[in-house]
Every structure is written in C-alpha cells, then in structure tokens.
Copies of this chain bind each other. A is one copy, B any other.
Amino acid sequence: MTAFDDLMSFQRETEALAQVAGRLSWDQETMMPRGAAAQREEEVAALESVLHARRGDPRLGDWLASVDDAALDEANRAQLRLIRRSYERTVKVPAALAAAIARTVSRAQVTWIEAREAGDFRGFAPLLDEVLRLRREQAAALAGEDGDLYDALLDDYEPGAKGADLQAMFDRLRPRLVALRAEVLGRPSPLALGVDFHEDGQMRLARIVAESFGYDLRRGRIDKAVHPFSSGQGHDVRITTRTVPADPFNCLYSTIHETGHAGYEQNIDAAYHLTPVGGGVSMGVHESQSRIYENQLGRSRAYCGWLYERMRDEFGDFGIPDPESFYATVNRLKNGYIRTEADEVQYNLHVLLRFDLERALISGDLAVADLETAWNDRFLADFGYAVDTPANGVLQDVHWSAGLFGYFPTYTLGNVYAGCLHAALRRAVPDLDSQLAVGRTGPALAWLRERLQRFGGLRTPRATIEHAAGMPVSEEPLLDYLDAKFAGIYGLKAA
C-alpha cells in the first residue's frame, strides 16, 4: 500500500459515511415521525462530529505530504486536489469556531421560522448578526491575510469562483432582465389554470416525467417533501416533489428540476463512486443540470406539446384548448414576491438582489439592522411594487439563518451555465425539438452525460462547463435564449 492507497481507502470510508448522513437527512424530510426531531438532532450531530474529525484527521496531512502527485494519472490528481482542498479548509477553521457555528445556525433556523411566522425581522436580527459575525470570522480564517472574505465563503459552493467576477456578470444581466420583465408584463397574459388537479394524478405524472428525463428508478425513488430536493450519490439518488392541487406545474417542474440534479449524480462514471470525484463538482454546475432539464428542455414548446397530451390523459379536458396555449400557460409570467415560485425571467432578479445584499453584509458595508430596508428598496426598484410583509421579503429564505452566505449566486450561475450548455446542445443535436415533441430526451441527455455529467469532479467547475459547451462561460446565451423565447410567447418585437 502506498500513501495514496491509504489515503484513498480512508477517504472512501469518509465518503460512505457522508452518504449515510445524506440518507439520514432524506429520512428527516420524508419519513421521520414528528416526535423524533429532538433525538434526530443529536444523531445528526454525532455523525457530523465523526465526519468533521475525519476531514481534519492528522493522518490526512501526513499522507498528503508524502504522495508524489507527478506519479498519478489525471483522475487521481483530481482526487488528490479535492482531498487536499477539503483538508486544508477543515484545519484552517478552529474546532471551537466550527462548533459555535453549528450551534448558532441550529438555533437561528428555529428563530427564523418563528420570526417569519410573526413577520418580525427585528426579533431575528440579533441572532442573524451573530451568525454573520461567526461566518465572517470563519471567512477570515479561510481567506488568510490578503484574501477576500466573500470569496472564501463562495468557495464552499463554487470552488474557484470570485465574487467580483460574478458581480460584473450579474451587473450585465440585471438591466436586460428588468427590461424583459417589464416588456412581458405589459402584454396580455396567457391563460392561467382554472381547476384543481388531484394529487394522485400529479404523482403518477411526476413519475412519467421523471422517467421521460431518464431518471433510473432502480437506483432512486420519488417521495413527497415540503421543499423538494435530491439526495445521494452513486447508486442511491433519491428525489422528492410536492403537490398543490391548484398548481400541477409545481409538482411536475419540481420533479424535472430534481431529476436534473439526480441525473447528474446517477450518470457520473461508476469508477468514481464513493470518491471525491464521484459527486457533482459544484452547486452552480449542479444547478445547470437541474435548470437545463427543467427550463430549456422541460419548458420548451416541443416538450410542452408532449406533456399537454400526458396531462389530458391523466386529467381530461382541463380548460387549456391546445398545445400552443399550454406552452404559454407553462411559461406565464406574473407578479410575485417569492424566489422559488418565480419564472425563468424573474428568477434571477430575485437572486441578484440577495447576492448584492449578502456581499455587502460580508464586506461590512451593510449592517444587519439595515437589511430589511435595503431588501425592500431593492425589490421596489426591480419589480415595481412594495414588499407587503417580511415573510414575503427578507425572511422568505432559510439560507442566511443557516449561515449559507455565498450560496445564492450559484443559482444564477447555474442558469448562466445552462444557457451556454443549451446553445452548444442545440448545435450538437439539430433535431432536438422533433425528439422532445415525442417525449424523447435521449439524444439531449446522452450529450449531457458524455460531455459533462460522467466526469463528476474531474475538472474545476468552470472547466467542466467550458469543456462541455466548448465556449467561455458567458451570460449572453442565456439572455439571447430568454429574449427569443419570451418574444415568441408574448409577441414582442424581436430584440
């Protein structure tokens, strides 16, 4: 056994334990009896403490010091890079600080739920301030003397990304999205759905659309959860969805979205399973897969035509007269406060707002005490109407209470990545629409699998996208796609 073999053998056990933690979290959101919550916290904490100890285990340091990088092939160099990165980030943060963060965000999430229900940001602010203080302290430990605090946090979700680069890109996105939104909302609205859709039928259709997007149910399962998510890697990748009687699209497009996340994990080369390379490479790249499945493919005119027939098979005549109207209904814009309910045009505006505010919080330019006002001002500026209550504004997302500063931009980055991939995919599969029109995603998914998914964490996130798309990352393809799509649906002048 060489040092590298020992290292990988230790790491493999860590990865297996991380899968166990993921399964536990799946259970918590889908199966766990309500009365088990307090005990479960203790079980999760025990497992996290084992994982934390392993990630900073001194033997890792020894092995890493004695491995000869040059003797390794590309995949094993990638393994080494990912293990080294995780180890260095773990040991840079003092154990007492890591424990304080875990304790505080656990408390903050409970307080956030109460504050959101009460519509009381001020009651939540002191604890959020404490979370922010601890995360800045962590960022300082990670960044070193000259490092950028925000970049240090962002690195957890999108390794290698820089806040300033994202800022520049997002500043180009924002005005065009604001303008497109205003134009679209000035036009007559497509038909809305007007009847209820029984939940059993929604779940049957959820299964059909998941399978139409290649979800392998021998290595996964679909359950309901309050907030849909995908969970697990390798041969056990599960998805969840939800049902709302008045809104079957919530169920169906949550399902397709999570199928994108799950498909990425299921399609990573099995040789990488239970290794660092064996998982999706970043949040942004993950989101690119969920978004291209959900939007560029799932909300396309062609796929909507197929889905319309499946909807009629299940629900009969539901008041939308033809596939073209159905396509418009699926892609209908309306005003709203909530990020997770937003359409393709408005979604990124919600994210850019959060990105700007959290960067200012981390840099110290914005105080938590002023956060609610800043949120409300920005929302009014971009959307043209005022936030009515904190639950629809600054208190709507769990992220900050959970300490997840640096996470939000990966949502929009994922959309930008999806735009690039979609442009390349259209060139590679010229008859994509005639395939989607009969519910066949096979050629598109084969391209994604071959060009991107199978590699897992072999390359950096940006290199992963650029390898697949064959172009530098840019927001242009996304914007061009949105302009063209919504011009078509809403009868706008072509840009």
A residues lining the B interface (CB < 8 Å): 12-14, 16-17, 19-20, 23-24, 27, 31-36, 38-40, 42-43, 45-47, 49-50, 216-221, 234-236, 238, 273-274
What are some 12 contacts across the A-B interface (CB < 8 A)?
A13-B49, A16-B43, A17-B47, A17-B50, A20-B20, A20-B46, A31-B31, A31-B221, A33-B217, A33-B220, A39-B234, A50-B50
In contact, A20 and B39 (Cβ under 8 angstroms): no
Closest to A233 in B: B39
- A236 and B40 contact, CB distance less than 8 A: yes
What separation, in Å, do the CA atoms of A217 and B36 have in the docked complex? 10
The residue that A236 contacts in the complex, of B13, B39, B235, with Cβ under 8 A, is B39
Would you call A39 and B27 a contact (CB within 8 A)? no
Chain B residue numbers with a CB within 8 Å of A45 are 16
Taking a contact as CB atoms under 8 Å apart, the answer to whether B274 and A36 are in contact is: no
Main secondary structure, interface of A, reads helix
Cα(A274)–Cα(B40), bound, Å? 11
What distance in Å separates the Cβ of A18 from its nearest Cβ neighbour in chain B?
9
A235 touches B17 (CB 8 A): no
When chains A and B are docked, how far (Å) is the Cα of A47 from the Cα of B15? 11
- Bound-state CA distance A112–B380 (Å) is 69
Contact B35 A216 (CB under 8 A): yes
Given A13-B46, A16-B42, A43-B16, A33–B221 Cβ distance below 8 Å?
A: yes
Of all A-B residue pairs in the complex, the 10 with the closest CB atoms, nearest first, are A36-B236, A16-B46, A35-B219, A35-B218, A39-B235, A13-B46, A16-B43, A36-B235, A17-B46, A16-B42
Closest B residue, CB atoms, query A45: B16
**Would you call A42 and B236 a contact (CB within 8 A)?**
no
In the complex with contacts A45-B16, A49-B13, A34-B218 CB distance below 8 A: yes
Cα distance A327–B171 in the bound complex, in angstroms? 78
* Distance, CA A273 to CA B31, complexed state (A): 21
Given A32-B236, A33-B221, A35-B235, 20 further pairs, Cβ under 8 A: A13-B49, A14-B46, A16-B42, A16-B43, A16-B47, A17-B43, A17-B46, A17-B47, A17-B50, A19-B39, A23-B43, A31-B31, A33-B219, A33-B235, A34-B218, A35-B216, A35-B218, A39-B234, A39-B236, A42-B274
Contacts of A31 in B (CB 8 A): 31, 221
Q: Which residue of B lies closest to A27 (CB)?
A: B23
Q: Which residues of B contact A40 (CB under 8 A)?
A: 236
Which residues of B lie under 8 Å from residue A34 when comparing CB positions? 218
- State whether B33 touches A24 (Cβ < 8 A): no
Q: Which B-chain residue is minimally distant from A42 (CB atoms)? A: B16
- Which B residue sits closest to A39, measured CB to CB? B235
**A218 / chain B contacts, CB cutoff of 8 Å:** 33-35
Across-interface contacts of A14 in B (CB, < 8 A)? 46
Nearest chain B CB to A160 CB, angstrom units: 29
Q: In the complex, what residues of B have CB within 8 A of residue A39's CB?
A: 19, 234-236, 273-274
Q: Determine the chain B residues whose CB is within 8 A of the CB of A274 once the complex forms.
A: 39, 42
- Chain B residue at minimal CB-CB distance from A15: B46
Contacts of A12 in B (CB 8 A): 42
Query: Which residues from chain B contact A19 at a C-beta distance below 8 Å?
Result: 39, 43
Q: How far is the CA of A273 from the CA of B35 in the complex (A)?
A: 14
Considering only CB atoms, which chain B residue lies closest to A219 in the complex? B35
**A80 CB, nearest partner CB in chain B, Å:** 21
A43 to B232, CA, bound (A): 12
Which of A27, A34, A49 has most B Cβ within 10 Å?
A27
Q: In the bound complex, what is the Cα–Cα distance between A4 and B468 (angstroms)?
A: 58
Q: Give chain B residues whose Cβ lies under 8 Å from the Cβ of A36.
A: 219, 234-236
Chain B residues near A20 (CB-CB < 8 A): 20, 24, 43, 46-47
A38 lies within 8 A of B235 (CB): yes
With a cutoff of 8 Å between Cβ atoms, the chain B residues found around residue A234 in the complex are: 36, 39
